[in-house]
Amino acid sequence: MVSKDEVMMALKDVIDPELHISIVNLQMVKNVDVQGDTVKVQVALTVGGCPLSETISKDVQKAVTKLAGVKTVNVETTVMTKQELDQLRKKIQAQMAGARVKPGEEMPPGINRLERKGIRNVVAIMSGKGGVGKSFVTAFLAVQLTRLGYKVGILDADITGPSIAKMFGLKGPLYVTAEKRVLPATTRLGIKVVSMNLILEEPQMPVIVRGPIINSVIRQMFQDIEWGDLHFLLVDAPPGTGDAPLTIFQSLPLQGVIIVTTPQDLALMVVSKAINMAKTLSQQLATVKLLGLIENMSYAVCPHCGEKMEIFGRSKGAEAAKRAGIPFLGSVPIDPDIARLADEGKIEDYSNPLFEEVTRAVRLNASKLLEPIPGTMPIAWSEHKAD
C-alpha cells in the first residue's frame, strides 16, 4: 500500500497553473487519506470559486495514479481561510527578509502574487448590456474618490472594447522597470490605469482573441501589474454574463459590484440578467456585496428652460432596484459635457453632485481601508476604522 509520504512527494510535481508554484509548497494540500488502493486528497484553493480548480484536480489525480498500488484518486477542494493566507504570506515575507526557516520549507518567492500589497477594496462596475455607460461610471467614480483623498486604480477589463485610457487622455506603452515590473499609467489626478489600449502598439487595431485568452489577460492585469498602495481598485467589466465577467468574480478578490443601466425596457431586461448573475455569485462568495444600481442617461435638461426631458422614456431605475432588492444609487442625466470631455481625454474635469450617493455607497461598504497614506487625508476619514 502506498504511504502518505509517497503521495506528498508525487504532489510536489503538481503546479498551480496561475502561480506556477507546487501546491505542496503553497501549502494547498490539507489532508491525504490512504485506504487500500484508494487515495483521497484534500486541496485548499487560494481563491474561492477558482476557475482552474478542475485543472488542479485532474493534475492531482494524474500525479497520484502514477504511484504503484493506486487505482482510485478522489480530490476534494476547499478554500484557504484568510488566516491561512495571512500566515503563508508572513512566512514567505520572513523568508525573503532573510529569516531562518526549517530545512525543506523553502518556497519560491512567487507566492507574493497572492498578496495584493496595498489593494484593499476591489469593486466591479457591471451591466448585462453594452453602451449603458459603465466606463463613464467607472471613470467618474474614480475621480470622485480621488477628490476625497483616496488612492484609486482602474483595471479596464473590457479587453476587446477598451475606452478608459481615451477618457483620461492616456497613451501607451506602459512603463517596464529594469526589474521587468510593469507599472500602470497615471492620470493628472494620480489615478492608476491599466487598459488594453495602453498595451497595443496601435490602439485602433482590434483585439481578436477567444474567451480563455481574455480571461487570462484579465487575471494578468490584476496579478502582474505593480499597483502599489490603493484604497480602491475599480474594475470596468465587459458587458454580458459570460466568461470575462465570471473571471472577475472568481479570480479577483472582489468585494463590491455596482450595476449600470439605462431607462429603456430592453436595457433593463438585459441588465436584469447581470443582476441575477451577481446575486447568485455573491451568495456563493460571501465577501461580494451588490452595492446598488445606477441609471445612466436617465434624462436631459433643456439648456434654455431647465425642463427635464426623459429622452429614453420614464425612469425605471428605482423600480428595477426595488424589484431586485438592491439599493438605488441615483440617476445620471444625459450631459453633452460628458461626451466632450471624454473625447478630449479630460474626464477628470467633469463634476456632478449626483455621484455623491454612489461614492458614499462605495465608501461605507468598503470592507477594509488602508491607514491614511502619507500626504492624503480623505474627507470624514473617521467614518472608517482602519485596521
pLDDT digits (tens, 9 = 90+) for 189-220: 999 999 988 887 666 665 555 656 777 788 78
Residues 223 and 370 in one domain: yes
pLDDT given at position 188: 93
Q: How many C-beta atoms lie closer than 10 Å to residue 276's C-beta?
A: 13
Residues 142 and 244 in one domain: yes
pLDDT given at position 18: 65
In this predicted structure, the answer to whether residue 11 has a pLDDT above a threshold of 50 is yes
Residues 89 and 122 in one domain: no
In this predicted structure, the answer to whether residue 92 has a pLDDT above a threshold of 60 is no
What is the grid cell recorded at 165?
485610457
Q: At 377, is the pLDDT very low, low, confident or very high (cuts 50, 70, 90)?
A: very low
Residues 99 and 126 in one domain: no
Nearest CA to 292 out of 266, 264, 317, 263 is that of 317
* Portion of the chain with pLDDT greater than 70, in percent: 77
Residues 36 and 168 in one domain: no
CATH code assigned at 341: 3.40.50.300
Residues 144 and 287 in one domain: yes
Residues 260 and 353 in one domain: yes
CATH code assigned at 11: 3.30.300.130
In this predicted structure, the answer to whether residue 370 has a pLDDT above a threshold of 50 is no
> Amino acid identity of 289?
K
Interval 129-187: pLDDT, tens? 777 888 999 999 999 999 888 899 999 988 877 889 999 999 878 888 776 778 899 99
Q: How far apart are CA 335 and CA 301, in angstroms?
A: 8
Number of domains in the chain: 2
Domain residues for the domain of 89 are: 4-113
Q: Is 330 left (phi over 0), alpha (psi -120 to 50) or beta?
A: left
- How does the average pLDDT of the chain come out, rounded? 78
